[in-house]
Amino acid sequence: MSRIGNKPIMVPSGITAAVEGQTVNIKGPKGALSVVVHDDVAVKLEGGRIQVEPRSETKRARSQWGTSRTLIANLIAGVTKGFEERLEINGVGYRAAVQGRTLQLALGYSHDIVYPIPEGITIATPRPVEIVISGSDRQKVGQVAAEIRDYRPPEPYKGKGIKYAAERIFRKEGKKK
């Protein structure tokens, strides 16, 4: 039995939720989001609470139960508070700057990298070595952060590259004479 799936999702005031078949639509102050849940789970909206239940007792239905509940809870959190991911840039001459709807990255290559900012995502650079990615869709925020990090992942010897703010880089010692 899923401990996460058992919990009902409370819909706060100011948020409108609608369940149409397998599609859950959520509207709030930060926008509107929707998700199509798996056919093995049933979603019910009753009295300001969303309840997710498996349609059968198969392994796949039980695994989709908690996943679907978490996806719906992330929608509600996204339209109320939003999500944020912070990246840090380490390296001499490495920097980032936002220009219009693009992110300019100088990462030690012979050219600057120009990353177009997707719709629904806000990128800010409070310092040239810090990138703050925010938006209402958790998956999209994480995907954008991963794509930016992939341009220059941190290397283990000097720690140069782009890393998540909470990430700890395992450092190696290097050659000995």
Q: Comparing 3-80 with 83-164, is the CATH topology the same?
A: yes
Residue 36: closest CA among 57, 48, 20, 60: 20
The whole-number pLDDT of residue 47 equals: 87
Query: For the whole model, what pTM was predicted?
Result: 0.88
At residue 169's C-alpha, the angle toward residues 102 and 123, to 5°, is 20
Please answer whether residues 44 and 37 qualify as being in contact, where contact means their C-beta atoms are separated by less than 8 angstroms: no
Q: How many CB atoms lie within 10 A of CB 21?
A: 9
pLDDT in tens for each of the 177 residues of the chain? 668 888 999 999 889 999 998 999 999 999 899 999 999 999 999 888 999 999 998 999 989 999 999 999 999 999 999 999 999 999 999 999 999 999 999 999 999 999 999 999 999 999 999 999 999 999 999 999 999 999 999 999 998 999 999 999 999 998 887
The whole-number pLDDT of residue 2 equals: 65
DSSP 38: -
Which CATH architecture best describes the domain 83-164?
Alpha-Beta Complex (3.90)
Alpha-carbon span 174 to 159, nearest angstrom: 12
Query: What CATH number has the domain spanning 3-80?
Result: 3.90.930.12
The helix (H) or strand (E) run that includes residue 19 is strand 16-20
Q: Where are the domains of the chain?
A: 3-80, 83-164
